[in-house]
Structure 1
Amino acid sequence: MVDLVLLAFIGLIAAMGLKRPFVWILLYIYVDLVIPQKVGWGIIQMFPLSLMMFALAFGGWLVLDSKEGSRFTFRQGLIVALLGLCAFTTFRAEFQDSAWEKWDWVWKSLLFAAFLPLTMRTRLRIEAVALFMVLSIGAICISGGMKTVFGGGGYGTLRLLVVENSGIYESSIISIAAIAIIPIAVWLARFGTVFRPHWTVAAFVAALSFACLLMPVGTNARTGLVCAAVLAAMMLRTVKNRFLYAGIAGVALVMAVPFLPQSYLERMSTIFDHKEDESASTRIAVWGWTLDYVKEHPMGGGFDAYRANSFTYQMPQVTGSGNSRSVTYVEVTDEGRAYHSSYFEMLGEQGWLGLGLWLLLHGIGLLQMELVRRRFRPAKGEKLGWQGGLAEALQQAHVVFMIGALFVGIAFQPFGFLIVGMEIAFGSYLKRQAEEQRQGPSRRWATSHAALSH
């Protein structure tokens, strides 16, 4: 029954795309984020939905959609360069089988990120992509939030829409994505035109944001807690009553602590002392190994090069409690441990060049959004406009992603590149608007008249 409902929904959206091909772009975003073929159990798993929707989205734009106003930017060139480098390192990867398995989804993520801004020519299209991203990730968070409230959860054990703990459904990754979409959801509630500002929209976004904040609790993901703290700090830059905001946030945190599961509090306590946590200790060891590895392989070892690692470290074991607490150190040998950091993931797999391209791609985006935010900063007594609001939301989401990327291997995750794609499209839209304003009324009339005559 679930399979039939999912296929019916996908078929309905696909049929709508016959009239508006851009809808196929949105359908691919839904399939790429939610992964409905894993949600179902039967016939839906027989279809390569991601590849089918990718071909439909690209083919629809190429054959049926207008190309007016589309432009290829420097950041899109960086994505294409990164895609070419990934192809090169995959051919020479140390572990060919697993490298090609990762390539199967990475190339679509990168190519779609470079292609997406070409299709987002209007404010409505930019908003539609933001809306589908929020609702797709939100669907996962609503399920996880409800299960958390009713007593489920635990690291790697919270059952979301699928029964596996991988991809965006992995505990830390979904926690990062959940926190990242909050500012975008708030922007949609304030400035949306698909669902215009209304108390019902505001109520839904408030409930969705609460569900998103529950994800780090339900998954016991320390990275999610760090991301939530970073987002809260960033919002201090934009709220009007900063002291009131900080006070309310502090009181809410104090009131929430007694209701948090003991397992969550114990896991969060290891943030401050990584030496007492095996997972954190292993990460430090893997990062050290990666730095040594790229000394001999400056171009990286291809996807999943971490499988070559092997190291020994001292792991503390605490016994007893209170005054009888004692610590003994046990020698632990580990191998084939993942990077647990996007920065080291890029370095180990794509080398210094790949890390440089990746950092440049994200760094330019953060800088661009800051410049747009300042350009559209409201004067005293004026209200924030949608342009400044979107720049703030994308920047906040992007910073959350980059902070989360410090501790989780999400360098190629689709939701991160969706943020990048929206930034590129938004920047191109603003540049095009500025050019039209400089042209003057007569030039704009001539352009529109010529377009109508053709």
Structure 2
Amino acid sequence: MRDYLLFAIIIGIVPFILKRPWIGIAAWFWIGLMVPQGHTWGFMRTFPLAMVIGLVTLAALLMNRDRRPIPWSREMILLAVWVGYVTLTSVFAVNPAGAWDFWVKFMKILLITFITPMLVYGEKRIITILLVITASLAFYGFKGGLFAISTGGNHSVLGPPGSYLSGNTYIGLAMLMALPLILVSARLFYRQWVDFGIPIVKRFSRPLGLGLYAVFWLTVISVLATYSRGALLALLVITPFLLWRMKHKWLIASLAILAVGVIGITAPERLTERWQTIETYEEDTSAMQRIQSWGISLNMAKENPVTGMGFGYTNMGYDWWSSYANFEGSWRHVLSPHSIYFGVMAQHGFGGLAIFLLLLAATFLTLNKIRRTAIQHTGQIWLAEYAWALQISLIGYAAGGAFLDVAYFDLYYAFIALVVIMWRELQEAPSPGEAATQNTKDNTASPASPRFPDFVATRTTDQNESK
């Protein structure tokens, strides 16, 4: 039943994409982040949803005039440089076949990143994309939070099977990056910052906001229940920023102290044990694997500081990989850099790492400008608040990514596209004073030529005067 329902949704959405290509961008993010085919058991489980939606969106882009030029901001320029650099390192990769195979997959993500600013513009489209991304990951926060509560935290929360987010570490980081977006989306509806022009949404705006507040806390529980140390550390990093923007932060802190100190509510034993391994990392196999992998990545970058080893170097086998190790261990080896920084360094050398960090820093600084100036410049509260949310998400990505191999996570590149779009929105939107002046002119200006019903009234008046 689920297979047929999903198939009907995909077939039904195609005509809308052909008419309005930007809907294809929303569908792409929904499929890439929520992975609806992962919840089916029949023919749709292996159906190439992303390819179908991507091709339809590209066709609609070519056939439709509803598009804008690519805004060549510093982020887009750095992204283009990033494309060129990873292409160069793929030419000199130690595993050419594996490198070009991953290069093709990565270029598909970047193609959508470049297309998104062409099709998404204006308040309602931007907010729709933000809400689609938020809802796609909030679904797992809601589901995982209820699962953790019902099982007492005795089982790990996992992502959709057969997807990039299937592992506990990856879904943990994805939900963590969605946390600030869920919080701001709750405020968006509860405080009614935007009029969506849909009566039912306006009528139930406050209940929707309250529901999203509940989903926020369920997502916090869900992140903890992944038992991913990378996600736990990232949550610890962003928690002060989240609490600082909350209206009742002292009440929340007091309730937490009351729950732990008086009522006796404690974290599951498995979670506390997992947390304690951070302090005793020398005794933990997984932690020592990471330290070994980081040393290997550094040694690879030293050998090839400009081009690195290229994509797919981990497929060269353990003997080749371990020849760069500083020490050996008795554990089961997983050939992974376990870090966005060391991973990029090993794959693309110090030059690639510099470009990657510049792109991350430029994106963060642009968000900071939007956050500080949006309300004053345009009066758009939602623009400033979502800029803040994306900033905190990037902080979580940078912190959690230090322990996870997520340098090519499509959510991160979706954020880059959104930053470019939001910056353009800030630059083009009129200030509150200009908007009010324009509305006054529109209301008082006389038409250049008679129009219905003006010419009817004019003729009636003339006839009365002639009598």
State the distance in 2 between where 1:159 and 1:142 align. Answer: 13
Is the 2:159–2:168 Cα contact (8 Å) retained in structure 1? no
- Name 2:383's counterpart in structure 1: 387
Could you tell me which residue of structure 1 aligns to residue 223 of structure 2? 216
**Superposition map of 1:40-79 within 5 A:** 40-68=40-68, 71-79=71-79
Q: Does the 8 Å CA contact 1:80/1:110 hold for their aligned counterparts?
A: no
Q: Using a 3 Å threshold, how does the CA distance of structure 1 residues 2 and 127 change in structure 2: closer, same or farther?
A: same
Going from structure 1 to structure 2, the CA distance change for 1:72 and 1:216 (only over 3 Å counts) comes to: same
**Number of residue pairs matched by the alignment:** 423
* Per-residue deviation, 1:291: 1.1
Distance 1:410 1:254, change over 3 A: farther
Give unpaired runs (5+ residues) of structure 2. Answer: 448-467
Specify whether residues 372 and 216 from structure 1 end up closer, same or farther in structure 2 by C-alpha distance, changes over 3 A only. same
Return closer, same or farther for 1:384/1:82 CA change in 2, 3 Å cut-off: closer
What secondary structure does 1:17 align onto?
helix
Q: Is the 8 A contact 1:14 1:23 kept in 2?
A: no
Residue correspondence of structure 1 range 259-274 to structure 2 within 5 A: 259-274=266-281
User: How far, CA to CA, are the matches of 2:186 and 2:348 in structure 1?
Assistant: 39
Indicate the residue corresponding to 2:166 in structure 1. 169
Stretches of structure 1 that go unaligned for 5 or more consecutive residues are: 315-330, 450-454
Aligned identity (percent) is 23
Aligned-residue offset at 1:87:
2.6
| Whole-Å separation in 1 of the counterparts to 2:24 and 2:334 | 39
Shift of 1:429: 0.9
Deviation of 1:21 after TM superposition, in Å, equals: 2.5
Describe the shift of the 1:9–1:67 C-alpha distance in structure 2 as closer, same or farther (beyond 3 A): closer
Separation in 1, partners of 2:15, 2:348: 40
Give a deviation string over 1:127-180, Cα, whole Å, max 9, x none: 11111101111223333223222228678x645442x5x512221111111121
> Residue 359 of structure 2 is aligned with which of 358, 361, 370?
361
The 3-state SS of whatever aligns with 1:411 is coil
Residue 212 of structure 1 and its aligned partner are, at CA, apart by 1.4
The equivalent of 1:182 in structure 2 is 179
Alpha-carbon distance, 1:294 to partner: 0.8
1:337-362 Cα deviation digits (max 9, x unpaired): 21111111111112222211111111
Distance change >3 Å, CA 169–CA 152, structure 1 → 2: farther
Corresponding position of 2:15:
15
Q: How many Å apart are 1:10 and its aligned residue?
A: 1.9
TM-score normalised by L of structure 1: 0.83
Flag the structure with larger Rg.
Answer: 2
State the Cα deviation string for residues 322-343 of structure 1 (Å, max 9, x = none).
xxxxxxxxx5377552111111
The residue type equivalent to 2:187 in the other structure is R
Deviation at 1:116, TM superposition (A): 1.2
| Structure 1 residue 120 displacement after superposition | 1.9
Deviation readout 1:189-242 (Å, 9 max, x if unpaired): 222544557331122212221231122333211122222222221124434565
TM-score, normalised with respect to structure 2: 0.81
Aligned residues of 1:22 and 1:119 also touching (Cα < 8 A): yes
SS in 1 for 2:330: strand
One-letter identity of the residue aligned with 2:295: G
Q: How big is each residue's C-alpha offset from its partner over 1:221-276, in whole Å with a ceiling of 9 and x where there is no partner?
A: 11222222222211244345654454445545668984533222211111223112
- Tell me if the contact between 2:21 and 2:119 (Cα under 8 Å) persists in the aligned partners: no
Question: Residues of 2 paired with 1:387 and 1:284: CA distance?
Answer: 40
Give the 5 Å matches for 1:109-188: 109-151=109-151, 158-162=157-161, 164=162, 167-188=164-185
Pick which of 383-392 and 393-402 moved more: 383-392
Counterpart among 284, 293, 305 of residue 313 in structure 2:
305
Per-residue deviation at 1:104? 3.8
Which has the larger displacement, 133-142 or 69-78?
69-78
- Structure 2 equivalent of residue 201 of structure 1: 208
Amino acid at match of 1:230: V
Cα distance in 2 for residues equivalent to 1:127 and 1:248: 33
CA distance in 1, matches of 2:259, 2:104: 44
Does 1:276 find its partner at 2:283?
yes
Q: For residue 64 of structure 1, report the CA deviation from its aligned partner.
A: 1.4
Amino acid aligned to 1:392: W
For the 8 Å contact 2:79–2:359, the answer to whether it is kept is: yes
Query: Distance in 2 between the 1:134 and 1:219 partners?
Result: 19
CA contact (8 A) 1:92 1:302 kept: yes
SS at match of 1:219: coil
Q: Secondary structure in 2 aligned to 1:407?
A: coil
Shift in Å, 1:26: 0.8
Inter-partner Cα distance in structure 1 for 2:433 and 2:300: 53
Asked if the contact 2:296–2:326 (Cα under 8 Å) also holds between the matched residues in 1, the reply is no
